[in-house]
Amino acid sequence: MFFQKDIETMPRKELLELQLQKLKATVAYCYHHTAFYRERLDKAGVGDGSKIKQLSDIQYIPYTTKDDFRDHYPFGLMAVPMNQIVRIHASSGTTGKPTVGVYTREDLDIWSDCVARVAVAGGVTADDIVQVSFGYGLFTGALGLHYGLEKIGATVIPASSGNTEKQMMMFRDFGVTGLVATPSYALYLSEAVKEAGYPLSDYKLRLGILGSEPCTPQMRDQIEANLHIYVSDNYGMTELGGPGVAGDCPERQGMHFAEDHFLPEIIDPETGERLGEGEQGELVVTTLSKVGMPVLRYRTKDITSLTYEPCPCGRTHARMSKTAGRTDDMLIIKGVNVFPTQIESVLIGTPHIGPHYRLIVRRKNYRDTLEIQVELVNADLLERYRELEALQHSLHDRLKSVLGLEAKITLVQPKTLERFQGKAKRILDLRNQPEEG
C-alpha cells in the first residue's frame, strides 16, 4: 500500500533529476534568505548554488551541525518572516538550549504527507483507530504523527504519554487498532497489558508505528510477540522537521527515505569524507522542500548506511539501515567502541531475561569497566544458583565475543529497572565522577 504511489515508486533517473533541480533551488533559497547560509556558502566558494551541476557537487557545501542550531537559537536559521510561520516545535534539549524547528503552512502540509507515507507503509488505513502515545507538546513526534494519520483518514486518539491505566482502558473500550509510541513505551505497555489480566483477544490492536529511538530487530520481535501486533519503524528528527524522514516498508529491510524531500549522504564521522553505498557512517541530510527552516547537509550524528538497491515493495527511494545509535551515545570503553544496540541484540531473546537493561560505565584505577544490569523474568531463578551462574557465564561469553570486551553481568530482580514512557535512557556513565571507594 502506498500513500503517494507515483512519487514513492518514481524511476530513480527521474528522482535524481528532481533532486538536482531541488538542490539547486534550495541552495539559492538558503543563500538569499538566511545570512547564516549566505556567509557559509560564500566562504566555501559555492555562492548561490548556480555552479552546482550534478548531485555530487553537494560535497562543496559546508556541513551544518547541532551547534549551528544552538548558536543561532532560536530563529537565526529561519528563512521567512515570523508572520509566515504557523507552528514552532523544539527538541527536549537535555543539555543546553533546545533545538527549534519552525513550519510554514506548506511545510506542515508536506510534513504530514511524509508521515502519511510512513504510516501507510506500516499498514495503517482509513479504517484504523490509532492511539498516539507520544507526549504531546513541543516534541515533533505526537503532532507529526497526528496530522499524518488524519491525512490518511485514520481515527486519531491524542492520548499523549503517561497514565498507562487510562491508555489501556481506551485500547479496549475504543477498539484501538494502532499504537504510535517509542519502542520503549510499547514494551512498557505490553507488560502493563499482561498485568491488567485481560486476554489479548479483548484488544483489537494489530499495528505498532514505532520510532524516535533505535529498535533492534530483536526488540521489535519481542514487542510483536508480547502484543500480537506488527511493528514498523520510522525515523526523523526535530532539525529536519520531525518524523516522516524515513520509514519501514513491508519488507522491513531498511527504512525508505522520502528522497523527494530529503537528500541523504553518509560520511566518515571522523574525517568528514563521503562514503559509498552500503558503507556505515554518519547520516547527513539536506532538506529539499523546507520553506521555514531549510537545512543544508545536516550532520545527524546517527550511524547508519544507505542502499539504492531496488526494493521488492516497489518503492525506489533509498533505504537507510536501522541506526546503530548516535555518535554521542557510543561508549568508548578501554578503547573499544560500543553501541547499546549491540548489547541489546545479544540480551533480548535470551531465555530467563527480560528486555530491560542498564549500562553502567565506571573508571577505577584509570581503567574503564562496564557493568550490564539485566532483569530476570522470574525471581525464582535467583534461588537456583547453578542455573543463575550458567546464565551469567553464557551472557558474559556471548557479549565478549560480540563486543570484544569484558563486562560484568548483574542479574537483577524482575521489575527493578526503570521503565520509560518516552525515549529510554539506559546508560549511566560515571567516569567523570569521583572514583568509588
What would the grid cell of residue 237 be? 528528527
Q: Is 323 in the site for ligand DLL (CB under 6 A)?
A: yes
Which residue, 63 or 396, is less far from ligand DLL as judged by CB? 63
| Residues 242-261 within binding reach of ligand DLL (CB under 6 A) | 242-243
- Paired sense of beta strands 242-248 and 255-257, if any: antiparallel
**Span interacting with ligand DLL, options 53-61, 238-246, 269-277, 372-380, rule CB under 6 A:** 238-246
Q: How far is the CB of 140 from ligand DLL (least distance, A)?
A: 5
| Residues 86-125 within binding reach of ligand DLL (CB under 6 A) | 91
**Span interacting with ligand DLL, options 77-85, 190-198, 229-237, 394-402, rule CB under 6 A:** 229-237
3-state SS class at 248: strand
3-state SS class at 79: coil
Q: Is 64 in the site for ligand DLL (CB under 6 A)?
A: no
Which residue, 49 or 141, is less far from ligand DLL as judged by CB? 141
**Span interacting with ligand DLL, options 217-225, 231-239, 368-376, 408-416, rule CB under 6 A:** 231-239
d(C-alpha 343, C-alpha 360), whole Å: 12
Q: What is the secondary structure of 66-93 as a DSSP string?
A: HHHHHHTTTTTT--S-GGGEEEEEE---
**Span interacting with ligand DLL, options 44-52, 212-220, 361-369, 381-389, rule CB under 6 A:** 212-220
Looking at the chain, how many residues does it have? 437
- Paired sense of beta strands 427-429 and 353-364, if any: parallel
Binding ligand DLL (rule: CB under 6 A), the pick from 19, 164, 234, 289 is 234
Q: Is 133 in the site for ligand DLL (CB under 6 A)?
A: no
Q: Is 211 in the site for ligand DLL (CB under 6 A)?
A: yes
Q: How far is the CB of 193 from ligand DLL (least distance, A)?
A: 22
Q: Is 26 in the site for ligand DLL (CB under 6 A)?
A: no
Q: Is 236 in the site for ligand DLL (CB under 6 A)?
A: yes
Residues near 42 by beta carbon (within 8 Å), at least 6 away in sequence: none
Which residue, 111 or 357, is less far from ligand DLL as judged by CB? 111
d(C-alpha 109, C-alpha 334), whole Å: 48
**Look-up: residue for cell 550534478?**
54
Q: Mark out the alpha helices in 212-259 (DSSP H runs).
A: 217-227
Binding ligand DLL (rule: CB under 6 A), the pick from 164, 190, 212, 222 is 212
Nearest to 415 by CA among 378, 380, 382: 378
Beta strand extents in 51-177 (DSSP E only): 85-90, 100-104, 129-132, 155-157
Q: How far is the CB of 120 from ligand DLL (least distance, A)?
A: 15
Interaction pattern, residues 157-196, with ligand DLL; x per rule: CB under 6 A: ----------------------------------------
Cross-strand bridge partners of residue 416: none
Vertex 70 angle, CA 42 and 299, to 5°: 65
- Enumerate binding residues for ligand DLL (CB under 6 A): 91, 140-141, 211-214, 233-238, 242-243, 300, 302, 323, 326
